């Protein structure tokens, strides 16, 4: 059991697990009247895919379940890091407690680091824990040499794309905030009937039967071509702006290792969808899973594995079956062919 209490370490300002660049992104977005909804949606799509897909892994050797894997995946995507305190309960049960805030200090060797963690209760209750690095799982997506203890998210590493998306969203916000209404032309020089105007405003879908204006009022040359044909007044954003926004959104998804075909604007057939899922598993989820397992092994001091073989195999079972058939038809031994497609030892 690690003793709870206030740290006696250096007087270092507590910081949350949110990367500084992401905090700056949120502050910039909230300071604008047009909040970057699409940028947040793109990040949420990526974070959701990371979390949900990582949660399908079968874990052996660690007290980690689908919910915790989901939390780790989302935190790595959004904040670039997360910290968990390893503890053993009185009954001998191992547990990992998520920290809401953390502070790190120590020397060049990461093994010498110490952590001051804030553990959040159900409401406003918090506990402050000081623990050595050997008791803290510090999952990080990426770091910089001058700040090895601070994890960076893909969005923090691709902050120019986030800035561009924010500017695009601001421009689209200005476009969509244009006045919206209906214009109804009336003959020039004629005041509209006040009771008729009131009836039109209060119609709200009901039927009105006003007197026709086709013959005009007074001067027949001023009659309208059609009676009561409204002209809509509203936003009309340039198509180029909409297309650029979609392109930047795909770039942000790409920074998270999410193929654009898995995004909201992705159009693909079954073969392309299977290939996108396979590529997402092979190049994004499996490396992240390996890094998570490595950090768990460091703290738990025993082998840990995250098995993604079953989910990825189920996603493209038809393609594997066809590859197996072609390989056997080409003369390859069945056992070797099954190994090549991932169905053998």
pLDDT tens, residue by residue, 4-49: 444 434 433 444 444 454 455 445 544 433 334 435 688 889 999 9
Where does the chain have alpha helices with state H? 20-30, 37-54, 66-78, 154-157, 159-176, 194-201, 239-255, 270-280, 286-300, 309-315, 317-329, 334-340
- CB distance 329 to 85 below 8 Å: no
pLDDT at residue number 295: 96
Could you tell me the CA-to-CA distances from 201 to 33, 229, 311 in Å, in that order?
30, 15, 58
Contacting residues for 255 by C-beta, under 8 A, at least 6 apart: 154, 155, 157, 158, 161
Residue 309 vs residue 274, higher pLDDT: 274
Residue 303 vs residue 33, higher pLDDT: 303
Token duo for residue 194: 């006040």
pLDDT at residue number 40: 67
d(CA 293, CA 299): 10
Q: What is the percentage of the chain residues whose pLDDT exceeds 90?
A: 33
Tens digit of each residue's pLDDT (9 = 90 or more) over 55-102: 999 999 999 999 999 999 999 999 999 999 999 999 989 999 999 999
**What three-state secondary structure class fits 4?**
strand
d(CA 54, CA 77): 12
Looking at the predicted structure, is the pLDDT value of residue 204 above 70?
A: no
d(CA 135, CA 116): 11
Looking at the predicted structure, is the pLDDT value of residue 169 above 60?
A: yes
d(CA 127, CA 98): 12
pLDDT at residue number 38: 38
User: Length of the chain in residues, anyone?
Assistant: 345
Backbone angles phi, psi at 215, to 5 degrees: -90, 0
pLDDT at residue number 25: 47
pLDDT at residue number 21: 47
Average pLDDT over residues 284-288: 92
Q: Hunting for tokens 């840990």 — which residue is that?
A: 304
């Amino acid at each position: 059991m690690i003793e709870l209490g206030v740290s006696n370490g250096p007087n270092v300002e507590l910081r949350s697990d949110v990367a500084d660049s992401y905090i700056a992104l949120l502050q910039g977005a909230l300071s604008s009247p047009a909040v970057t909804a699409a940028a947040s949606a793109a990040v949420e799509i990526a974070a959701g895919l990371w979390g949900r897909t990582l949660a399908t892994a079968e874990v052996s050797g660690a007290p980690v379940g689908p919910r915790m894997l989901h939390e780790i995946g989302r935190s790595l995507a959004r904040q670039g890091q997360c910290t968990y305190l390893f503890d053993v309960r009185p009954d001998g049960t191992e547990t990992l407690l998520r920290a809401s805030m953390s502070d790190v200090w120590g020397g060049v060797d990461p093994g010498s680091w110490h952590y001051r963690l804030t553990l959040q209760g159900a409401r406003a209750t918090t506990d402050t824990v000081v623990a050595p690095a050997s008791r803290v799982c510090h999952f990080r997506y990426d770091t910089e040499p001058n700040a090895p203890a601070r994890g960076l998210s893909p969005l923090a590493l691709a902050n120019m794309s986030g800035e561009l998306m924010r500017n695009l969203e601001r421009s689209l916000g200005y476009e969509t905030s244009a006045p919206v209404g209906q214009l109804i032309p009336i003959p020039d020089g004629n005041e509209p009937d006040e009771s008729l105007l009131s009836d039109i405003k209060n119609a709200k879908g009901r039927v009105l039967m006003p007197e026709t204006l086709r013959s005009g009022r007074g001067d027949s040359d001023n009659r309208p071509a059609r009676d009561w044909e409204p002209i809509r007044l509203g936003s009309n954003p340039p198509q180029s702006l909409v297309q650029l926004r979609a392109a930047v959104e795909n770039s942000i998804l790409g920074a998270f290792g999410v193929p654009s075909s898995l995004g909201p604007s992705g159009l693909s057939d079954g073969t392309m969808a299977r290939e996108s899922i396979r590529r997402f598993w092979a190049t994004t989820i499996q490396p992240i899973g390996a890094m998570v397992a490595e950090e768990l092994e460091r703290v738990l001091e025993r082998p840990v594995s995250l098995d993604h073989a079953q989910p990825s195999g189920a996603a493209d079972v038809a393609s594997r079956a066809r590859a197996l058939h072609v390989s056997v038809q080409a003369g390859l031994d069945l056992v070797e062919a099954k190994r090549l497609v991932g169905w053998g030892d």
